[in-house]
Structure 1
Amino acid sequence: MKLVFKKIVLRFSFPAGTSRGVLKEKPSWILNVENNPLVVGECSVIPGLNMDYTDDASYEEKIQWTCSTFNLLYTQLDLDQLLHFFCQELIDFPSILFGVESILYRINLSRGNDVFDSAFARGESTIPINGLIWMGTIEEMKSRVRDKMNEGFSVLKFKIGALDFEEEYRLISQIRAEFGEGLEIRVDANGAFDSENIDEILKRLGDIKIHSIEQPVKTRDWTLMSRICLNSPIPIALDEELIGVNVLGAKQQLLEAINPQYIILKPSLHGGIKGTLEWISLAKKMNIGWWLTSALESAIGLEVIARLAGTMAPEIPQGLGTGGLFENNFDSPLVILNGTLKYKNVKA
């Protein structure tokens, strides 16, 4: 068995706007076992956001080390021992760790051992998901809202913070007025606001019954973030705040200091599968809500995240509706049906 890799560039079907800029393409590195196309994994990065990625050359050097080490150890260790080894060695490289975890998962699967077996994986249930409304012109965003509503979504998440807030607020207010409180609206600011304006913004979002706001201000100001979480009229969800916090004790310290209402978890950013499960365990103990979301993976990585989510039978909608973002994506066994995620051609 030989593990190899190749880089791909995923092209967005439309300019995907965030408060950090407009995304037109993004890189991923695909791990695969030679002569076995079913054993694949994905190392997905978002340049400027992933702390384990600075440039292609250094990133590929680490992936090459990972593949070479995997090939050396594969005949010496069992799969559990390999997983333990790489969870330690790649603790600061969550996107690469997620790729390796996916490879080991699929090796297990090829041996008839599905460690993510669930009603979802068997096609007996679906996973509720939110529809994502990327930033664009107001007219573009209105069109995307109509499309998502026609597709059966009852939960929409808006990217905000890049346009004029008054325009964004007007749009979301119109959506609320048209569809009523039966539509759950989440917003994601990606750290766009600051201590000068956040209180007024949260008050206004509370007036139109927003479900929650992700990462309202920039990271690493725990004093400000904890004050916001304590006083906000709407729940606060941490996302970027969790990036780079990879040691269990540090995770607990962060959650105790800030005490958010929710955390948003992306395995490629937040410690791979192992790190994600640590965050969830801590959140449950502290009565903090959570949901999983993709970090713009291709169909390869998204399927593994969906299978992981399926093991927990989530009732709160997850952020796993990104499969249609890319014009050159891989074929996927997943399909979106009435605001839920399910396996194709499997009766649910």
Structure 2
Amino acid sequence: MSATIDSFELKLDPPLQTARETLHTRQGVLFQVGTGPTGLGEATPLHPFTESFEACKQALERATKAYTDAGWPRAFRVVSKTTKGRLRYPAARHAVSLAALDLEAKQQETPLYRLLGGQATGQVPVNATIGDGTATETAQRAGVAKRAGFPAIKLKVGAGSIDRDVRRLRSVRETVGSHIELRADANGAWNRADAQQFLSETASFGLSYVEQPLPVEQTRAHGQLRGSGTGIALDESIAETVVTTLLRKDVADVYVLKPMAIGGIDIARGLTKRVRQAGATPVVTSIFESAVGRMGAVHLAASLENLPPSGLATAERFETDLAPDPAPVRNGAIEPPTDPGLGIEGVTIDG
């Protein structure tokens, strides 16, 4: 038994703007096991959703040695340690679990979505994401997304005034019509009064949900925003509070599940069931991974029935990648690879 890790850094264009910083590259670690076939796993951390890059790499170094010495149980033990019920190394565990699943699916000569319990699902619908801009710019970008066949569009809001965002959303809805799903993502930009104003003034636009309108420190207050006709979704809050606790508190209508931040596609698949049992809606998305991690999320989405459009249309943001994309977005959807495992071969590490 053998395992190796390799660090990589991939260029982004345009850069990724988070609530804390602007990222021009994504740093990650590729975890590989076996010699023929090979299981591939990826850890591309993004603090505070995950551990830091340094902590992730150190955890994978320990997991690599543990796997070589004693196999999967020991490797999983290294990356599955918790503090107050939360994984210490969710990105590292994602890499180990994805490699294990990829290897098993290849050994069984079946695509990963089938190993996860899914059937031949056809295509995975995805949403387009539009950043901040004027009403005219935002509407133009929405028109491009409509012509490209996207069934849903997510707009970044909260960078300017509520009135400005209302004008932007009105222009988008007038441009794309009533049949395309609209989502808004505030990244915790508002207080409760601002959020209530936004919900009131956009009620006629038919938004499916507003993602993280309040900061993480006010997670429970999200429950007080529900019932307006626009769903309330949680994203950043999931990095601070485990999903099962949030479900017990009943504070949201939608839960944005990021396998890299949760600890693996296996954990994410289990949580989708818990979310649905609680009467809420799961949405699968990513934190900008390479083709390896992205395909893991695609197979996860393909294994689930009646899933809303996923946030997985991120490949075009990468100037460089670890492998050719085996499942590009076409007409607003991704068709999962049908080759064994992830469907990825020929990974190249440039550094």
TM-score (ref. length: structure 1) = 0.85
Contact 2:124 2:336 (8 Å CA) reproduced: no
Contact preservation (8 Å) 2:151, 2:180: yes
Distance 2:19 2:135 in 1: 15
CA apart distance, 1:21? 4.3
CA displacement at 1:67 relative to structure 2: 1.2
Q: Which of 122, 125, 139 is matched with 1:128 structurally?
A: 125
Aligned residue in 1 for 2:276: 284
Query: Are residue 52 (structure 1) and residue 51 (structure 2) matched?
Result: yes
Aligned to 2:327: 334
Shift of 1:16: 3.5
Task: Provide, for residues 16-75 of structure 1, a one-character-per-residue CA deviation record: whole Å limited to 9, x for no partner.
Answer: 34554433222111112375584221101224x32422xx4333222211211121122x
Change (3 A) 1:217 1:264: same
Task: Write out aligned runs for 1:91-130 (5 A).
Answer: 91-112=87-108, 114=110, 116-117=113-114, 125-130=122-127
CA distance in 2, matches of 1:38, 1:104: 10
Q: Which residue of 2 aligns with 1:232?
A: 228
- Is the Cα contact below 8 Å between 1:18 and 1:135 reproduced in 2? no
Note if contact 2:125-2:334 (Cα within 8 Å) is conserved in structure 1: yes
Alignment RMSD: 2.8
Residue type of the partner of 1:134?
G
TM superposition shift of 1:121: 8.3
After superposition, residues 318-333 of structure 1 pair within 5 angstroms as: 318-329=310-321, 330-333=323-326
- For 1:302, which of 285, 294, 299 is the aligned residue? 294
Amino acid at match of 1:25: T
Partner of 1:188: 185
Residue pairs, 1:1-348, within 5 angstroms: 1-33=1-33, 35=35, 38-47=38-47, 49-53=48-52, 56-74=53-71, 81=73, 85=77, 88-89=80-81, 91-112=87-108, 114=110, 116-117=113-114, 125-136=122-133, 140-229=137-226, 231-246=227-242, 251-329=243-321, 330-343=323-336
Q: How many angstroms apart in 2 are the aligned matches of 1:140 and 1:86?
A: 48
Shift of 1:87: 6.6
Q: Secondary structure at the match of 1:31?
A: strand
Structure 1 residue ranges without an equivalent (≥5): none
Cα distance in 2, alignment partners of residues 280 and 111 from structure 1:
27
CA 1:24–1:211 in 2, change beyond 3 Å: closer, same or farther?
same
Identity of aligned residues (%): 21
Distance between the aligned counterparts of 2:75 and 2:66, measured in 1? 12
CA contact (8 A) 1:101 1:272 kept: yes
Q: Read off the aligned partner of 1:162 and give its amino acid letter.
A: A
- Cα offset for 1:176? 0.5
Supply the AA of the counterpart residue of 1:312.
L
Structure 2 segments unaligned to the other structure (5+ residues): 340-351
- Return closer, same or farther for 1:341/1:135 CA change in 2, 3 Å cut-off: same
Deviation at 1:84, TM superposition (A): 6.0
* SS of alignment partner, residue 196 of structure 1: helix
Asked whether the 8 Å contact 1:83–1:101 carries over to 2, the reply is no
Q: Number of aligned residue pairs: give it.
A: 333
Partners of 1:143 and 1:68 lie apart in 2 by 52
Q: 1:24 and 1:142, CA in 2 relative to 1: closer, same or farther beyond 3 A?
A: farther
Relative to structure 2, which stretch is displaced further, 293-302 or 203-212?
Answer: 203-212
Q: Deviations over 1:256-300 (max 9, x none)?
A: 213311111001112322432342222122111111111111111
Q: 1:276 to 1:203 in 2, by over 3 A?
A: same
